[in-house]
Amino acid sequence: MSDENFPSIREGDHESYMNFALERARLSPPASTKFCVGAVLVDAGNNQILSTGYSLELPRDSLGDPGTTHAEQCCFIKIAQKHDVPEERIGDFLPEKTVLYTTMEPCNKRLSGNRTCVDRILRLNGAIKTVYVGIGEPEVFVGKNTGREKLEAAGVKVVILHDMHDRIMKVSMAGHDSETKE
């Protein structure tokens, strides 16, 4: 979706896709008021990376609101910009086997009042059928995140990749007090 040179990752290599999402998360500026999250949108049908994103990558969201963009949201904004459509219409342009890798469970509540990442996924009307997640959202800002439950109730498969928990947690919590735990 951009001029980036994405790595070539073997089909079905979920750990490598999650590692790439973790590389994106490391680009997010650390702060005690947010998590550093990375996301990768993939066409699993032809094993092609469609878009990437990380927390606060884009200075404005699709409505022009400054500085609160989440990783998944940045992936979607880039697809919308490529096709010159509103973000809610990107489902019309996503391949049939699009999957999302995100280092942290998509949010189901935002203190900013912006649309949640869960709602962004669901309003694509089934364009994303599987979401691979590195860790659940720590109960730091909004309490228990019910994003996984809401996605699964709507028919979206959520797969937790447990093997990278500690590495993802360390990157996600960059800028937080080292005493903060999940």
Q: Let me know how long the chain is.
A: 182
The DSSP H or E segment spanning 39 is strand 38-43
The contacts of residue 123 (CB under 8 Å, 6+ apart) are 88, 91
In whole angstroms, give the CA distance from residue 132 to residue 105. Answer: 9
How high is the pLDDT of residue 47? 92
Q: Are 125 and 97 in contact (CB under 8 A)?
A: no
- Choice among 4, 23, 57, 72 that is catalytic: 72
Tens digit of each residue's pLDDT (9 = 90 or more) over 84-139: 999 999 999 999 999 999 999 998 876 666 788 999 999 998 999 999 999 887 77
Domains, the chain, in order of start with CATH, read 19-172 (3.40.140.10)
In whole angstroms, give the CA distance from residue 34 to residue 11. Answer: 32
Residue 88 is among the residues annotated as catalytic for this protein: no
Tens digit of each residue's pLDDT (9 = 90 or more) over 49-59: 999 999 988 87
How many CA atoms are closer than 13 Å to the CA of 163, on its beta-carbon side?
Answer: 6
How high is the pLDDT of residue 61? 56
Percent of the chain topping pLDDT 70: 85
